Amino acid sequence: MFDKLGQIAGLMKNAGKIKQGVEEMQRRLAAARFVGEAGGGQVRCTVDGQGQPIKIGISPSLVQSGDVELLEDLIVAGFAHAIQLSRAGMKKEVETMSAEYGLPGLGNLFGGGGV
């Protein structure tokens, strides 16, 4: 029980540093770019470290094929891949910060175990 009180006291003591660390992490994530691909690279979707869509690239030959359903499926798959990469990047940032400030287990906020 007293061990937990010590952890809480440590958190309170470092609250300002932790807040600055979180703000810096959010800036890094907003600037980070993650690219997901689908269709062998015919569709490339870019999101930032917070999972927000940034850019999409589509091979001209895919557009010319006229297969709208395939194009839609590949766009969804490309963004799903990019978001998966973004979440892995976010988890890594949180784990790094939690280790730096002695806050074990924060990485589990993003699904625990594997990404």
Mapped onto helix, strand or coil, the DSSP state of residue 79 is: helix
Contacts 24+ apart (CB under 8 A), 52-57: 53/79
Do the domain assignments include residue 3? no
Label residue 115 by pLDDT band (50, 70, 90): very low
Write the CA distances from 26 to 79, 81, 82, 102, integer angstroms: 21, 21, 18, 19
Contact 32, 54 (CB under 8 A): no
Q: What is the overall mean pLDDT for the chain?
A: 85
Could you read off the pLDDT of 1-38 as tens digits, one per residue?
A: 555 666 666 666 777 888 888 899 999 999 999 999 99
Do the domain assignments include residue 17? no
How many structural domains is the chain composed of?
1
Do the domain assignments include residue 5? no
| Closest CA relative to residue 31, chosen from 7, 50, 6, 59 | 50
Domain range enclosing 63: 30-102
Could you read off the pLDDT of 91-104 as tens digits, one per residue?
A: 999 888 888 877 76
Do the domain assignments include residue 22? no
Do the domain assignments include residue 23? no
Q: Token pair for residue 100?
A: 């730096």
Do the domain assignments include residue 51? yes
pTM: 0.76
Asked if residue 69 has pLDDT above 90, the reply is: yes
